[in-house]
Amino acid sequence: MFLAPFSKINLNRDTFSRSPLTRVMSAALLVIVAAGCSNNSADATSNTDLVNSSKAKTSTAAVSKDSDAKVVKSLQANLKASGIEETILSAVPTDMTGIYWVTAEGLPSFFTDKAGKHIIQGQIIAVGAETPVDISAALVASTAQKALKAVDKKDMVIYPATGATKAVIYSFTDADCPYCTKLHEEMADINARGIEVRYLAWPRSQESVPKMEAIWCSQDRNAAMDQAKTGANVQAPSCNSPVQSQMALGRSLGVNGTPAIFTESGQQIGGYLPAAQLAQTAIDAS
């Protein structure tokens, strides 16, 4: 489920409404979460892809290519003709002839054709060679890497590694998610393994918003996060917090459940993982 940015003035149920395009995309999109709290009843906990991306090579050929302005213009016009006012940022050619990787403002990235007439979601796997080639994985990771790198550290709740930092992970979290709590309970172990954890806010429901706002508005965010993860009530004066912008970021990266964990290279490694497995996965991806 992709959530619209919250209103800064009135946090009511209308803040969870979605644009027409977002509704269509969220109805079809299946985000794979290893273990986590989902706000989408159709969320999956196992990989059902025809070709598992872990068994396919990753193509990076399209990552550095330039955007095609004509495709952007055509797609923008076609969306407008359908009554959809979304802003298209780029359309990069992929290894598949006539197919482009699209980045849009406030939406998960997707594929389109050269005429900008179709929106295509999910993996694209090239077959015919000795090994299948996933032409989408590197594009997805590159988009996430750039977006996460742009977040100011002062807007996150950071738990630094103990000793040398071997890897960094970003985790979209919710104060009311049991799997987020389980992850947080292992924070000391995760940090001791050389992993720095950077929390971003992702309240899954309207009821969670005040708690997340209170954490980010606290003088000591780490202490407030620790309290919230034990079920304690956290209170703080209101402030101009980054919660709304981080929700928009999560939506653009396809987050629909928590914890949603990304490596520094932009690879989404799923939901909750035990400390040892999480650390090793993060280190391998760095």
The catalytic site residues sit at: 174, 177, 180, 204
Nearest Cα neighbor of 259 from 34, 48, 42 is 34
Nearest Cα neighbor of 266 from 240, 242, 285 is 285
Partners of 258 in the beta sheet?
37
User: For residues 180 and 140, is the Cβ–Cβ distance under 8 A?
Assistant: no
Question: According to the 3-state scheme, what is the secondary structure of 113-125?
Answer: ECCCCCEECCCCE
Helix, strand, coil % over all residues of the chain, rounded to 5: 35, 20, 45
Nearest Cα neighbor of 168 from 182, 185, 181, 151 is 151
Nearest Cα neighbor of 140 from 127, 156, 122, 152 is 122
